[in-house]
Amino acid sequence: MAVTGIYVNLPVADLAAGKAFYLALGGTLNEQFTDETSAQIVLSDAVFVQIMTHEQFKGFTEHAIASGGIEAINALAMESREEVDRLVEASVAAGGTEPRPAQDMGWLYNRAVDDPDGHSWELLAYDATKLPGAPE
Q: What is the mean pLDDT of each run of 10 residues along the chain (136 residues)?
A: 90 97 97 98 97 97 89 93 96 97 95 96 92 75
pLDDT at 3: 84
In a domain? residue 1: no
Answer yes or no: is 135 within a domain: no
Is residue 37 one of the residues assigned to a domain? yes
Domain tally, the chain = 1
pLDDT of residue 41: 98
With b meaning 16 or more CB within 10 Å and e meaning fewer, what string describes 42-73? bbeeeebbbbbbeebbeeeeeeeeeeeeeeee
Can you give the residue range of the structural domain that contains 47?
6-62+72-130
Asked whether residue 85 is domain-assigned, the answer is: yes
Torsion of Cα atoms, 55 then 59 then 61 then 65, to 10°? 0
* pLDDT at position 132: 81
CATH number of the domain at 89, please. Answer: 3.10.180.10
Q: Is residue 48 part of a domain?
A: yes
Residues 30, 129: contact at Cβ < 8 Å? no
> 136 in a domain, yes or no?
no
| Predicted local distance difference test score (pLDDT) of residue 2 | 81
